[in-house]
Amino acid sequence: MEEKPTGKFADFVGQAPPDIPRGSRSIPWKALILTFLGLVLLCFLVTSLTLLYVDRSIAREQPVIEEVANEFMRAMAARDTTTAYAMFSQRAQRQVPKDALDKLVQGRQYALFDGFQKAEVTGIKLSRGIFTNPNLPQGVFAVATGVVHYENDLTGQFNMVLEKEEGRWRIHNFHVTVPVEKFP
């Protein structure tokens, strides 16, 4: 007499395995949708936190950068090119001789600084970078744009690139434009 197997699978000896319900092998569509929504929410949170950090960084740096722009313009208006030149980064000082600033406060070019009242930053872009060109700003740097206010309700524009050196903002380069009425 043939012995019958015992145990869990005793009923299936000599038969094909039973069909396993299809739903137990596949991931339910609800789980896929919830996973997708979770990933979208995670991306949204990471982006929001990054933008919040950048906004706070800019808000923290704006008054400091604005003060650098004002100090520089005041020094140039006073024809104190030694003080103005000391505000340049070491990298910028290797590229631009102090004589270049001395020329800006002589003759017609002095109109860029004559009658200066205040500089107001209207935009800042903070960046980090390391460039293969050693003449470009390295590390943390900012591009600041703004309005220059002069006597007689005249205004001009400025652009400055600044880089952080030893925790302080230093000028890498600057550009000031003024209305034609300022030139003699």
pLDDT attached to residue 41: 78
What does residue 124 show for φ and ψ, rounded to 5 degrees? Answer: -140, 140
Give the C-alpha separation, 71 to 84, whole Å: 8
Alpha carbons 140 and 146: distance in angstroms, whole number: 20
Q: In the chain, pLDDT over 70 holds for what percent of residues?
A: 76
Predicted confidence band of residue 132 (pLDDT cuts 50, 70, 90):
confident
Q: What is the mean pLDDT of residues 84-107?
A: 94
List the 168-177 sheet strands across, edge first.
Answer: 116-129, 139-150, 155-165, 168-177
Q: Go through the domains of the chain in sequence order and give each one's CATH number.
A: 63-182 (3.10.450.50)
**Mean pLDDT, to the nearest integer, of 37-51?**
70
